[in-house]
Every structure is written in structure tokens, then in C-alpha cells.
Amino acid sequence: MEESAAPRFDCQSCGACCSYSSEWPRFSTEDDAQLDLIPQKYVAADESGMRCDGVRCSALAGEVGKSTACGIYEVRPDVCRACMPGGDDCLMARKAHGLPTL
């Protein structure tokens, strides 16, 4: 692998995008079969997306900026899959948490 292909940021020591806004982890292009795999305890009461505690997704474990993990990684919503380390959404979330963006 070329060195330039290495990720800029390590999501497992970040989690900023998972604790950015309750509007963030919403369901969008998933089909019902996909959504059925997400444990109900993590789903918002109106079923519009992930249940959040304040701005933090309820499926996020750990401490933002130190060590984090998605509790439903294999079945996480599409918006979560689309957020790429180093992308605009990522940088916005990292900045909001005072984490390095370079």
C-alpha cells in the first residue's frame, strides 16, 4: 500500500461525527430489511434515525477524541457509512470537538 493511501484520522480514537448533532444519524436510503437489523433500543421514538442523547448517538461507546466504537458498526445507517475520514462532514465534526483537522 502506498503511504498516501493511509487514513488521515483514526475513527476509533475519534467518534466526533457520532456526537455532533441529533440530526446527523438519520435514516435515508436504507430499506426495511436493513433497518430491522438495528436494535430497537438505539432507534429514535419516531423511527426517523438513531436515538440520540443530546447530540450523541446512543450506539456510540467510549469517549470522543480518545477511544470510541460504534455499537452497531456492521448494520450502521448509510449516512454513517458515507462519512469518510478527512471528508467535509468529518472535518466539521472534528472541529466542533476541538480535534485536529490537519
43 binds ligand SF4 (CB under 6 A): no
Strands 56-57 and 60-63: unpaired
96 binds ligand SF4 (CB under 6 A): no
65 binds ligand SF4 (CB under 6 A): no
55 binds ligand SF4 (CB under 6 A): no
Rounded CA separation 57/54 (Å): 8
Residues 8 and 85: beta-carbon distance below 8 Å: yes
85 binds ligand SF4 (CB under 6 A): yes
25 binds ligand SF4 (CB under 6 A): yes
16 binds ligand SF4 (CB under 6 A): yes
76 binds ligand SF4 (CB under 6 A): yes
Distances 8 to 21, 36, 39, 52, 63 between C-alpha atoms, Å: 23, 33, 31, 27, 20
Compare residues 3 and 59 and give the one whose CB is closer to ligand SF4.
59
| Contacts (Cβ under 8 Å, ≥6 apart) of 77 | 25, 26, 27, 28, 30, 38, 49, 50
Interaction site with ligand SF4 (CB under 6 A) = 9, 11, 14-18, 25, 50, 57, 59-60, 70, 72, 76-77, 80, 83, 85, 90, 93-94
